[in-house]
Structure 1
């Protein structure tokens, strides 16, 4: 589950995205490669590997973010955009893990 803010319109949207899928939010294309949660004994945490590409009309696509984003610390690894904010809210229906995989 992701949440996005369009800073121009002040519109906030929450959207579910399946692993391997890409969704459109304004001019952004957001792809989710992986989503992991901590084991039950550890503090609650969800982390997703996202690739966020800006496809502005008339311009070439620009990758704005590619990496792990953490639900409990959105500022730790954040999208750097003057128009949009995107953050991870939670992972649902995924296997639990102790830490994000370093293979991505």
Structure 2
């Protein structure tokens, strides 16, 4: 008899007996419970649209009796008037002799020629402003020089300003002349009066 012979138990072979036992054990065990049926999530509640806003009402029109009065038409702004210029018949000058240092003040009528040293001074116009305005005195002047050979040559033509005498000055080696003021009257007789006398 071989080692691997079958052992019989109660007329059954050991393999058959093992199979029978396995079946009995399997039947004895409870079958797993069937999974519960899947439930779909509850449907969301029906969406409710927000309440419509109240109808917009235009503001009530003001009563015609309470309407504000229309503003009166304003007048156009008036530009300030240009400062008044006064035309004067006399120009007052000051002159210096650089050699002697002597300063002389002299009046000259418009379009009159006065000689100061070797210079001849002729004002053509002289403007000033009222005393209530800022002073601004100017004169258009022509200045000629008498040379040593008795010839006359123009050394200056232009505006002189009493408030700024150095701005437009007469350049000469010996004499300087500048505008001091413009006047309505002078103690010096006018050229016409001098001729008649």
Q: How many residues align?
A: 94
* Aligned counterpart, 2:195: none
Distance 1:27 1:82 in 2: 11
Give the number of the structure whose residues are more often helix, by fraction. Answer: 2
Structure 1 distance, partners of 2:109, 2:152, is 23
* TM norm structure 1: 0.82
**Per-residue deviation at 1:60?**
2.8
Bigger Rg, which one: 2
Find runs of 4+ consecutive structure 1 residues off by over 3 angstroms: 39-42
Q: Which moved more, 1:74-83 or 1:31-40?
A: 31-40
Deviation readout 1:55-96 (Å, 9 max, x if unpaired): 0231532211111100000111111112111111110118xx
Q: Where in structure 2 are the equivalents of 1:37-56 lying within 5 Å? A: 37-56=128-147
TM-score if structure 2 supplies the norm length? 0.45
**Unmatched 5+ residue regions in structure 1?**
95-104
Partner of residue 82, structure 1: 173
Greater relative contact order (CA < 8 Å, ≥ 6 in sequence): 1
| CA apart distance, 1:40 | 4.5
Distance in 1 (CA, whole Å) between partners of 2:127 and 2:183 is 9
Q: Which residue of 1 aligns with 2:159?
A: 68
Aligned equivalents of 1:83 and 1:34: distance in 2?
Answer: 26
Aligned-pair distance for 1:35?
0.3
Q: Secondary structure at the match of 1:75?
A: coil
C-alpha separation in 1, matches of 2:134 and 2:174: 32
2:109 to 18, 34, 59: 18
Q: Which position in structure 1 is the counterpart of 2:126?
A: 35
